[in-house]
Chain A
């Protein structure tokens, strides 16, 4: 064991002080202007300490990562999907795979409760739950040749829990796709600029696909550069279109966009991967990494002032317009991906473990990437908190609540204690060249306003509208990619399930099966999208909590698998590492599910809502925000579907957790009954550092290895 030298102690004390100073200012300031710099300080200080101490403790004391043990990438190297990948490259791959719209949208919506609850959960959640989950799943999957979460659940917990996990994953995927699509519809509706530039991504991707397939196979970097250049051109051209006579063609109503979106999802998912999905993916990865980097730079350079309250009254009253329910449990549900995301477990078990060079790198790849994702969530929260709170609420409250004129909206938002004049609301829309910003729910438009605010503080006001649409394009791009990729994954699961009933479905390239299952998957998420767009109570308001609950429930499955594995692999003493986050996550999420199903507040409880509206229908009344009897029936149907869905999801997860607990208890009582499907030990021949920067010992080890093996094979990387 290395003893700490004085310099190290001084450095880490300073880091701790910076983090503590950030937290102190955030916690103590009320009613004064707080700079976003303190939020950044609190976040980065905490991440550094957590990575250095907690993650290291988990890696070496709990998981006991073994640098002499060969990973699947080394043992099963086939030069394609299994191959040892440089840790810095894999960090990029893994981060690009886990980062998406979730961490950008969730914190924006959670800002309704003020910036403080969100900040605390994003940072504490990632340190103790999210990053731990990602790292532990990555570790166990690496020990199992890159088995998927579902396979691990089946093998380690049992066929019953495994099947429940599989069905839950499928349902969660459908809800995810529906909600993400809804976010985009809300951002693009009535916006010719946005709609045109997003539509242009399709021909651009087709061109790139053709280039890579026919002209110059595999030249990804150059084709991505061409693609990004064309994308920026499409963005600039969007403004010309919006000002030309074509504007009407691209000014689409939400319901029209739904049809286009579902049609796109279906066609894209049955086209070959090379045509649309692969090139789109290159484009969105480029834009994703580039924009996140620019945003981080913008936040640090501009250091904007937070205008939102630290904690709003909605946190305790639970009657917020963005989503209903009180701080506990709903802030945790809403933030979702930036703090703890079940979906990451699907990446950490699957692609990444097949490429990791060394077990010791799980800390950097698993924990480190998730810290980066969390910092993206912090930036999204900053972006939502620096815009005028009056504008924030006018943008995020459903039209049924604030009406569709700026006068009305100004009045309603004013009654909540946030003053904004009708002129200011109209001007905000004009500044970004949109017809209106009222009820642009879903988080993406709000984030885009925040981003355009930050960027125009750096580049000047002239580019504000451009940055707004840049941010919309950036989100829409990878949400559309996710629709395509997600539909394929959902289809794959469905083919597998249907294959048990009708054999040919198992063959994934059987064309009729492919088309049928694609249509079913698109139909299912299309249904939620349709419902969301036509929901009188506000689609995001109704559906986002279900999305948050489902994502957190998937995290509960992942954490249950991790805890079971810790127990079964003789790490009972350390099972709290994932056990405590599991208990917390299950408590939060099941409480939220319970409230969503049984609450007697019609704003929160789906069945109470159904009852209130059904009683009104029986009396022949129309309750606001519904405008007609049709609306009333829509509300009743939707609340029933939403309530049943929430209950089913919660039940599935309770089954998984109960089954996992049974296996754990059995193992503790009679260890001989358990089986552990770990790949046998093979000695590793690869020498590679564990962290981003090699230590002195690692450099020495590498030097010696190169010297002794120089005749065998050339070094792979500079």
Chain B
């Protein structure tokens, strides 16, 4: 129960984004360079910066 609440909150807030990305990179290329969490989060906000339609909210 507690585990699934924690899972849901992490997913909903996108806190799990880094883990997911690492898993994704490792899956395709087991020995590829993985960015640090700090760099990854920076890259994510930079992407939003470049295209503000990502994650746009409505009225």
Contact = CB atoms under 8 A, between A and B. Distances in A.
B26 to A, nearest CB: 10
A344 B58 contact: yes
B17 A492 contact: no
Most buried by A among B3, B20, B58: B58
Contact of B17 (A176, A218, A282): A218
- From B13, B38, B59, name the one whose CB has the most chain A CB atoms within 10 angstroms: B59
Contacts of A341: 58-59
A508 B37 contact: no
Please report whether the interface of chain B is mostly helix, strand, loop or mixed according to DSSP.
helix
B21 A79 contact: yes
Contact of A273 (B15, B23, B45): B45
A102 interface: yes
B15 A79 contact: no
Given A212-B41, A337-B58, A718-B3, A218 B53 contact: no
A346 B58 contact: yes
A350 B11 contact: no
Interface in B9-46: 9-15, 17-18, 20-21, 23-25, 27, 37-38, 40-42, 44-46
Contacts of B27: 713
B13 A176 contact: no
A79 B52 contact: no
Contacts of A78: 24
A79 B20 contact: yes
B53 A281 contact: no
A148 interface: yes
A642 B23 CA distance: 53
Contact of B48 (A85, A273, A486): A273
A85 B49 CA distance: 22
Contact of A81 (B9, B10, B54, B59): B54
A362 interface: no
A88 to B, nearest CB: 7
Contact of B8 (A80, A89, A218, A508): A89
B58 A351 contact: no
B29 to A, nearest CB: 12
Nearest to A278: B45
Nearest to A176: B59
Interface residues of A, number: 63
Contacts of B11: 85-86, 89, 717
Contacts of B3: 718
Contacts of A482: 57-59
B37 A97 contact: no
Determine chain A's interface SS by DSSP, over half rule: helix
A195 B30 CA distance: 53
A427 interface: no
A323 interface: no
Contact of B49 (A93, A273, A346): A273
B55 A220 contact: no
Nearest to A102: B59
Contacts of B21: 79-80
Interface in A474-522: 478, 481-482, 485-486, 488-489, 491-492, 508-509
A508 B48 CA distance: 12
A81 B47 contact: yes
Nearest to B24: A79
B56 A278 contact: no
Nearest to A482: B57
A306 interface: no
A325 to B, nearest CB: 21
A221 B8 CA distance: 11
B56 A346 contact: yes
A300 B5 CA distance: 24
A301 B21 CA distance: 43
Contacts of A436: none
A344 B59 CA distance: 9
A160 to B, nearest CB: 23
A138 to B, nearest CB: 14
A274 interface: yes
B15 A220 contact: yes
Contact of B45 (A81, A93, A272): A272
A92 interface: yes
Most buried by B among A101, A221, A509: A221
A217 B58 contact: no
A278 B57 CA distance: 12
Given A80-B47, A508-B50, A92 B12 contact: yes
B49 A272 contact: yes
Contacts of B53: 148, 346, 350-351, 489, 492
Given A80-B44, A274-B45, A492-B51, A219 B58 contact: no
A217 B37 CA distance: 7
Contacts of B50: 508-509
Given A79-B24, A81-B47, A217-B37, A489 B58 contact: no
A626 B4 CA distance: 60
B36 to A, nearest CB: 9
Interface in A380-420: none
Choose among B3, B7, B18, B45 the residue with the greatest number of A CB atoms under 10 Å from its CB: B45
21 contacts: A79-B20, A80-B44, A83-B24, A86-B11, A92-B12, A96-B57, A212-B41, A213-B42, A217-B42, A221-B10, A221-B15, A277-B48, A281-B55, A337-B59, A346-B56, A486-B56, A492-B53, A509-B49, A716-B23, A717-B11, A718-B4
Given A80-B21, A281-B55, A478-B57, 15 more contacts: A77-B24, A79-B23, A83-B20, A86-B11, A99-B58, A100-B58, A176-B59, A212-B41, A273-B46, A277-B48, A343-B58, A485-B55, A486-B56, A491-B52, A509-B50
* Complex A-B, nearest 5 residue pairs according to Cβ-Cβ distance, in ascending order: A79-B24, A488-B52, A102-B59, A220-B13, A79-B21
